[in-house]
Every structure is written in structure tokens, then in C-alpha cells.
A = this chain, B = another copy of it.
Amino acid sequence: MIIIMNNEVTDAQIDAVAQRLKSWGLDSNVSRGVERTVIGAIGDESKIDKELLQALPGVEQVIRVMKPYKIVARSYHKEDTVIDIKGIKLGGRQIQVIGGPCSVETQPQMDEAAKYVAAAGCRLMRGGAFKPRTSPYTFQGAGVEGLEMFRKAADRYNLPIVTELMDVRQIDAFMKYDVDVIQIGTRNMQNFDLLKEVGRLHKPVILKRGMSATISEWLMAAEYIAAGGNHDIIFCERGVRSFETYYRNMLDVTAIPVLKKETHLPVIIDPSHAGGKAWMVPALARAAVAAGADGLLVEMHPNPCEAWCDADQALNPQELVDLMGSLKGIAQAIGREL
């Protein structure tokens, strides 16, 4: 931690900062410059309360030197973490495309969806049983029955299932239907009690980025899960809020190389929620793979014009097949496979 004092600082104020650091077990290095005095805190930075230092008289600014995240940091684990989902590897050389509808509607819809997902060459399936909807007056998801339909449809094709958990009270149902990958949605990225709960489970977790979460906040949210013992965390960038109104969210493709540098955990992209329109999905999916993403979450509906939710962003089965084809070439060009 570096503490920059203001230009009218007194010796007593400098001493007070040093004393405070000492009370946390850290030493100080005082550097008196021409216009500013700077205090370096030497020792375990995690013991410091930054806001408290900032409140001390004479302090102008406090700057963190160390990254606040530990377990999820690349420095904690140098190699890429590869997560095993019923034998399917995520985070390694093979890129995983997780396909499926926005929401679970009916058994026939899920059966058909699973068939098309498998046929396109996807190895995992997505689908929402509990849906976070902006309006209380719209379809809120099929709930527990949805989990049952999903499980049944996916099992026929040996597709592990990915679905969103919104509330701690749904965990029992998730265990009952043996959900393979638990998704924490954008609106719950900092629902810390929920993060703590999934941190205790032995299931891989996809952690979607909050609507306007910084990468650092996102890593810290993952740290909540990791601190509970569950290290099988997958980051999912799905577009962030911006001033642009042409599309729904702005896909932050730069987050891919940044996360690859900062963390050892896998990174996937959701091009469907990012753009919000089916015709944008192929370009965004290709960009994500080219930039180094380990996988994709792609919405596909057997019949998009009849979807109960986000109908305009789902690919139809043929579009998913075409997309898989074009992604194959890009994966090869960067030394990976699909």
C-alpha cells in the first residue's frame, strides 16, 4: 500500500499513519519528495483497511499495490485450470459451445432443443428454469418442473446441463436434479450470500459478469466462491452496460485477454445476451474465440418465433450448425479445436 500525503502534511500526521500501519503489523518507508511525502507500507497489505487510512488527517490518496484477489489469481496457480464436467474439459485446448434455449418451456421443446444441440456438435446444454425477468408480470420460468424437463431431455443425448440459480432456497432442487453446472446470473454477481452458498457446493459455477462490474469486482466475486472451497469457477462475459443504444449490451472482448492474464480460471462468452439480436451472434462468437475464449453460451431455440423469452436473440437450429462450422476454422487458426 502506498500512502500519498497532501502538500501541507505535518510530521505528526506522518507519524500517525506509521503508527496505524504498525498496529496492523506493517513497517513504513517514508519518502519526502519535493512536493509530496509518500509512505510505503511494508508487510502484509491484506491487513490494511484502506478507507480508514484515507480518513486520517494529512492523507491525500491511498493506492493498493497488491491485487486484492488471491485464490483466483494467476499468481496463485500459474497453469490454466481445466474444469472437468462429466468428462468434458473446459479451459483446455478444446473450446466448448454450450447451446440451448433461453428458457425451459415444455418437454417437447426441450427434447427437440437437445436433439439439435447435440446434432450441431455442442457437448453441453443450457436452459433457464428460474428466470430473472425485468417485469413481475411476465413469464418467470418453469421452476422445478423445468429442471425435471431439462434433465430428461439432456440425458437422452448425454449433455451435461447448465442452468441459473437465483435463490439459496432453490439449491435442494438443483441437487436433486443433479445440475451439472450452476450459473450465477448478472444481477446476482454480488449477491454475496448466494456466492457463499455455491462456494460450499461441489459443482462448477459459471459466474456471469455484473451489468457494470469492473473486472476487479468480478474477480472478487469469484473469490467469494473460491474462499468457500469451490475452485471450479468459470467467468462468463455477457456484455456490459454502455451509452450505445443500437444493441443491448456492449461485449467487452478485452476482458478475455485481461482475465487470461489475471486468473487461471476459464473464460467464456455469451454473445446472445450481449448483442441481444440473433444476427449479431455469429460475429461476436467468432471474435470471442479469436480473442482466446474457452467457450461460448449460445441461445438456440427449435423455433425462435415461438420462444417464450428473448425470442429475437435465439439462433435457429441451422444457424447454430453454421456457426459451429465457422468457429472450427478460427479455433484451428489459433491452435485450438472445437
- Say how far A34's CB is from chain B's closest CB, in angstroms: 6
Q: Is the CB of B220 within 8 A of A134?
A: yes
Query: In the complex, are the beta carbons of A311 and B36 less than 8 A apart?
Result: no
Q: How far is the CB of A116 from chain B (nearest CB, A)?
A: 17
Secondary structure at the A interface, as helix, strand, loop or mixed, is mixed
Whether the Cβ atoms of A243 and B241 lie closer than 8 Å is yes
The answer to whether B135 touches A287, judged by C-beta atoms less than 8 angstroms apart, is: no
A174, B214: Cα distance in complex, Å: 32
Instruction: Flag whether A2 is at the interface (Cβ < 8 A).
Output: yes
Do residues A242 and B245 form an inter-chain contact, with CB atoms below 8 A?
no
A280 touching B309, Cβ below 8 Å: no
A256 touches B243 (CB 8 A): no
A114 within 8 A of B: no
Q: Cβ of A99 < 8 Å from any Cβ of B?
A: no
Encoded as 1 (CB less than 8 Å from any B CB) or 0, chain A from 206 to 236 comes to 0000111111110010011001000000000
Q: Does A38 contact B (CB under 8 A)?
A: yes
A333: which of B56, B140, B332 is its contact (CB, 8 Å)?
A: B332
- Chain B residue numbers with a CB within 8 Å of A251 are 253-254
Q: Is A172 an interface residue (CB 8 A)?
A: no
Task: Let me know if B132 and A66 touch, CB within 8 A.
Answer: no
Closest 5 CB pairs between A and B?
A329-B333, A290-B290, A212-B212, A55-B311, A257-B283
16 contacts between A and B (CB under 8 A): A49-B308, A49-B311, A51-B313, A54-B311, A55-B278, A55-B312, A68-B135, A134-B217, A134-B220, A167-B194, A168-B168, A210-B211, A212-B212, A258-B280, A290-B330, A329-B334
Query: Besides the contacts A36-B65, A51-B307, what 17 more A-B pairs have beta carbons closer than 8 Å?
Result: A31-B42, A33-B40, A132-B192, A136-B192, A169-B193, A187-B190, A240-B243, A242-B242, A250-B252, A253-B283, A258-B280, A283-B291, A284-B291, A287-B287, A287-B291, A290-B291, A330-B330
